[in-house]
Chains A and B, each alone.
Chain A
Amino acid sequence: MNAARSRITLPFLIFVTPVLMWLFLLIVLPHIDLLLMSFRIEDDAGAMVWSLVNYLNFFDEPVYWRTFTRTAVYAILTTMITFSVSLPVAFYITKVVSPRFSGFLSLLLLMPFWVSELVRVYGWMILLRESGVINHFLLRAGLLQRPVEMLYNDITMVMGLVYTSMLFMVVPLISVLESLDDSLIEAAYDLGGNVFSIVTRIIIPHAMPGIVSGGIVVFMLTLGNYLTPNLIGGKNSLWFTEQIYNQFIASFNWNQGAAFGFLLLILSSAMVWIGLKLTRQKLSQVVQ
């Protein structure tokens, strides 16, 4: 664009007004309010005063920070599992299967993710619960004597989280692997490289931008997930979003909830920032 456009014109005003209203009224001001609310408490007289109590509560009460750490650790674990499950699939679709099928397979891959997350979690519930379909088949096959409850444990929860966010890893991986020149792999093979060295020294370095953008999105979605941990995680396996929900809806302590929300926001932004810094990328490149 040339410099002559930099003065204020009618089209500019038409474009900028709704965008500014959107970003300031629905993003900036609400987050400032969230931050302010998290530093306020009701004192004994019922008036609102400034205080750090909401944050001190977080560190005093082991259940809060344990849930927080647990959520972070499980979100990282989920991101890593999602990556290891998705990479072979993305590689197969782009490099191994005959090109006739690769378009069809990547379409097929997208289909389940158009469907609501709730329906997908529900599907797993009917498959895995004590009276579920998998138990039914295992009993009929004589592999089990009595039904086993496969829901409400951490393994199932992580599997559900991987399932929910897989698409956001597979799609960026497919698009970076498509741009990988086959002749690089052929050359490495001719020079005697084995599968392990080709994967770690050619494929992964080339796919790094896709891995980072997929990883960021998967991590953030997992951290902010509520449905999956709530419905198929155990009753004592709390997720941090559930703590936020409890503060808001059950205890009606919005200020405490705001502090929790802000902590979660800091955690997710910090992880995104670290991911970008480690790979020297910009957010605007990653979301493309």
Chain B
Amino acid sequence: MIRSLPNTRPYTLGFKLYVILFFVFLFAPLLITCVLAFNDSQFPALPWKGFTLEWFTADLPERVGIFHDSLNLSAIGVSFKVAFWVSILSTLVGTCGAFLFEQENFRLKQALYFLMLAPLVVPGVILGISILLFANTLGVFFENTFNLDVPLFRPGFWLVVLGQFSFISTLVTLVVSARLKKFDHSLEEAALNLGATRLQVIWHITLKFLRPAIIGAGAVAFLMSFENFNTTLFLVGSQSTLPITLYLQVRDGSTPVINAVSFLLIVGTSMLAVVNLTLSRKKE
């Protein structure tokens, strides 16, 4: 049954086999995507026709590698910009949220806390359409009353940033709150006794203590934003993010360039994940 109990051989072997199959199931699609990025064939399929880097580097009429593919390159650029702003905004607001719910007392705190958790249980599609509708309502209102055309209220870059920010901030709040719970308040009290103001204490002591959690949350926010599809789908304007661009390409047929992009994504995210994990381990 468990380690400390005698187990029959079929039980141990069967269980091991199940877990091995599970991991094969988990990794097969990713491995095959990576392998086929290097296949010298016009289609992302077997048979293996030899190793090539052309799906990354080529700039031929029938074969444009990812490094020359302006559509995907510009989508990667947009995704980086969106993820940059989302991680900055959500770390700022999420950290404020953590302080608000951990260190302050006010009326309706429970209700506000519940509201802060809500984006976790609202499907991303709903967040997307409700923000789209509200932005449109505001846009119409501003145009009718002030005769102003506000670009922010039309689908586009900043609406995507706001849409992703709306639920990623909840995650940052939870991560930073968890760290703030472990904070030793005698440090704060000592600083207050020595004449520091509350804001000085927060700036010099509490935020220093929270730094690993904030950086970690920022990295996760970056990744979540970079990969977001559901909310972005409804808010995207002429500047498409990478998941949306890839989705349109996959839907309408596929070339090994998509494998090459996927390979870069897999390598990039795994590296970010490993760095994040080792950093958080060191700090623990």
Interface secondary structure of B, over-half rule:
helix
By a CB distance below 8 angstroms, the chain B residues around A26 are: 131, 162-163, 165-166
Q: Which residues of B contact A15 (CB under 8 A)?
A: 96-97, 99-100, 104
- Whether B191 is near chain A, meaning CB under 8 Å from some CB there, is no
When the two chains form the complex, which single residue of A11, A31, A33, A269 contacts B199, counting CB atoms closer than 8 Å? A11
What CA separation (Å) do A122 and B166 show in the bound complex?
A: 27
Task: Please count how many residues in chain B sit with their CB below 8 Å of the partner chain's CB atoms.
Answer: 92
Q: Which residues of A contact B27 (CB under 8 A)?
A: 112
Let me know if B129 and A248 touch, CB within 8 A: yes
Across the interface, B117 reaches (CB within 8 A) one of A223, A224, A254, A283, namely: A283
Whether A18 and B130, one on each chain, are in contact in the complex, defined by CB atoms closer than 8 angstroms, is no
Contact B266 A30 (CB under 8 A): no
Chain B residues closer than 8 Å to A110, beta-carbon distance: 273
Which residues in A have their C-beta under 8 angstroms from that of B234? 245, 248-249
Q: Tell me, in angstroms, the Cα distance from A227 to B230 when the chains sit together.
A: 8
Q: How many A-B Cβ pairs are below 8 Å?
A: 266
Closest A residue by C-beta to B242: A116
Cross-chain contact of A182 among B2, B22, B105, B131 (Cβ < 8 A): B2
A62 to B114, CA, bound (A): 36
Interface string of B183-198 (1 = CB under 8 A from A): 0000000000000001
Q: Which residues of A are in contact with B by a Cβ distance under 8 Å? A: 1, 3, 5-6, 9-12, 14-16, 18-19, 22-23, 26-31, 33-34, 37, 85, 88-89, 92-93, 95-99, 105, 107-112, 114-127, 131-133, 136-137, 163, 166, 182, 185-186, 189, 195, 198, 216-217, 220-221, 223-227, 230-231, 241, 244-245, 248-249, 254, 257-258, 261, 264-265, 268-269, 272, 283-284, 287-288
Is B1 touching A131 in the complex (CB atoms < 8 A)?
no
Q: Is B156 among interface residues, defined by CB-CB distance under 8 A?
A: no
Q: Bound complex: CA of A202 vs CA of B30, how far in Å?
A: 36
Query: Which of B123, B162, B259 makes the CB contact (< 8 A) with A224?
Result: B123
The answer to whether B99 touches A11 (Cβ under 8 A) is: yes
Given contacts A107-B277, A133-B45, 12 further A-B contacts (CB under 8 A): A12-B106, A22-B93, A27-B118, A28-B115, A95-B3, A98-B3, A118-B227, A163-B25, A221-B123, A226-B233, A231-B250, A254-B136
With a cutoff of 8 Å between Cβ atoms, the chain A residues found around residue B93 in the complex are 18-19, 22
B198 A31 Cβ-Cβ under 8 A: no
Q: Known: A110-B273, A115-B30, A261-B126. Contact between A133 and B100, CB under 8 A?
A: no
The 3 lowest CB-CB distance pairs between A and B, nearest first, are: A123-B29, A224-B123, A30-B130
B103 at the interface (CB under 8 A from A): yes
In the complex, A116 Cα to B114 Cα: how many Å?
29
CB-defined interface of B1-28 with A at 8 Å, one 1/0 digit per residue? 1111100000010010011001101111
Chain B residue at minimum C-beta to C-beta distance from A122: B250
